[in-house]
Structure 1
């Protein structure tokens, strides 16, 4: 009977994910297009699709799709490689949303004269933990194989939501095993602790909060073993503080129930041994920034968050 129940539960979760993916992309399609237009018009984005080798032992031909942004000043030279930012989009580890950070990626490339690699990663439930994290490591290791373009001593990572979680893990638990030097991480409304229960995330004024059953669906698809949720490769909250990059920027949304854990991680890291920037955008909800319209509160909040990231990257890259 347990076998039948497990099969039914798996089918139920996959059906729910199928519907969520359809609705999510329909809701956000025009918002992403606005950001694509902004990237082209305001930042002169020059972007190409690259396919990065994967270490997946089950499929030697598999690659990881990424968008590579070249700064308007042009490509680097072997004598003068450029710094690089690697970014991962939000997804709940479940929703294909690669390319949703186009405005941020193009802006970093222009204002920092840096390459930006906006990388995709495998999603659950088809590819649960550690598939996404393996893709993160493969992308960062690939950066080190191109010294003629990328300065491996000046690397930053970033991401939103689940992508922010992956960036934080790359900048902590994975950091010492990498062939690049991660100087800074920018985490935008990140997931930091998958072990928390709904009652642990109560806030005073939630704004369109993510329903607890949806969060649990995402988490159970990604990591079914509840005991594993405190593993630092899953929840960056539990990484060793001393393993973190020299600069950490965490931006939480005041109306987002995930702000509880984001603020908690920022406070834990602020031990005087690294630069920690913590910002709470009051009244903003999870995913507020996608397709933000000029002049709105969402636009001004996004500008504030991106400015914090730019300042941190400039300082870390030595380009201030």
Structure 2
């Protein structure tokens, strides 16, 4: 896995090694936090099935890990009729292995919207740089589309958080180009990354909990899109894409204290041309990744329940 990235650092191998050391430490710390968050968010409602699978990749030597959440009472082994499907991608900064951190969200969507949720993994940098993660996202969508016996392929929605929101947005736009046979009905985004071309220092917002450090954002840039040509690619910075390529329904949740999703609000305004439904919610006094592992009874839990509840209602209308 290292070769794909290391070729970009052949003139500065120390840069790659420094990134690897820092990210190894961050991955350990993130893993410890992830365990805590998953424990808080891991409640599985009665009669609800969680299936762990491996999705075929375009690369014959590897697969893509995914978790499938079925609504209560749905038995996938009994050949039930296909249901609408939501494909989700987790936050990671494109560097952290975080599959499973959206468990509360995925369970809520499957349970309350009565749909199937495919929570899919993707490759991370610096071992696997752009567009590896995009390829995994596209392969996941194609796999879902190739199983009309399990999923209602006429009702496919995408969602994602932070870097996962970037992948959801990018993949939804690709349905107008390289995924022409697949129709994406909606894309739902939580604090998504939409623009890698701007200097992170130009996006500092007020000091609110969970505001990302500029040094961390720059590390993300260097690990996922180390070359400027990559950052200008619409598959990395979807804000540069043709607005007409996005689905009929676009829902974006941004955070007042976030310094990484400012352009998402600009994107919402640009694609709201009267031909599609665009919902923009700017959540007050919170920062990035605010909805993970929230404390029961807290203000964050109340805000999470409201945001997730609104998403449920949107998905019901699509079905």
Picking from 19, 24, 32, the partner of 1:26 is 32
Partner of 2:42: 36
Name stretches of at least 5 consecutive residues in structure 2 with no aligned partner: 1-8
Write the mapping of 1:230-309 to structure 2, written as runs, cut at 5 A. 230-309=232-311
Partner of 2:163: 162
TM-score by length of structure 1 reads 0.91
**SS of 2:210's equivalent?**
coil
Name stretches of at least 5 consecutive residues in structure 1 with no aligned partner: none
Q: Within 2, Cα distance between the matches of 1:144 and 1:11?
A: 39
Q: Within 2, Cα distance between the matches of 1:103 and 1:175?
A: 31
Q: Within 1, Cα distance between the matches of 2:198 and 2:48?
A: 39
Could you say if the C-alpha distance between residues 216 and 273 of structure 1 is closer, same or farther in structure 2, counting changes exceeding 3 Å?
same
**SS of 1:177's equivalent?**
coil
Partner of 1:55: 58
Q: Within 1, Cα distance between the matches of 2:62 and 2:18?
A: 28
Shift of 1:28: 3.2
Shift of 1:241: 0.6
Partner of 1:197: 199
Could you say if the C-alpha distance between residues 206 and 181 of structure 1 is closer, same or farther in structure 2, counting changes exceeding 3 Å?
same
Are residue 138 (structure 1) and residue 144 (structure 2) matched? no
Could you say if the C-alpha distance between residues 174 and 229 of structure 1 is closer, same or farther in structure 2, counting changes exceeding 3 Å?
farther
**Deviation digits for residues 247-306 of structure 1, max 9, x if unmatched?**
001001111112311211111111111101001111111111111123211111111221
Could you say if the C-alpha distance between residues 53 and 176 of structure 1 is closer, same or farther in structure 2, counting changes exceeding 3 Å?
same
Shift of 1:177: 3.0
**Deviation digits for residues 9-60 of structure 1, max 9, x if unmatched?**
11111111111111122233212211012xx14x75310111110002xxx1
**SS of 2:254's equivalent?**
strand
**SS of 2:185's equivalent?**
strand
**SS of 1:283's equivalent?**
coil
Give the root-mean-square deviation of aligned CA atoms: 1.8
Are residue 8 (structure 1) and residue 9 (structure 2) matched? no
Q: Within 1, Cα distance between the matches of 2:16 and 2:238?
A: 27
**Deviation digits for residues 57-86 of structure 1, max 9, x if unmatched?**
xxx131111001111131478783110000
Write the mapping of 1:58-137 to structure 2, written as runs, cut at 5 A. 60-75=60-75, 80-137=81-138
**Contact map agreement 1:189 1:250 (CA 8 A) in 2:** yes
Partner of 1:216: 218
Q: Within 2, Cα distance between the matches of 1:79 and 1:232?
A: 39
Q: Within 1, Cα distance between the matches of 2:153 and 2:209?
A: 40
Picking from 210, 220, 226, the partner of 2:228 is 226
Q: Within 1, Cα distance between the matches of 2:64 and 2:19?
A: 25
Shift of 1:164: 0.5
Q: Within 1, Cα distance between the matches of 2:81 and 2:27?
A: 42
Shift of 1:175: 4.5
The aligned length equals 309
**Contact map agreement 1:184 1:312 (CA 8 A) in 2:** no
Shift of 1:227: 2.7
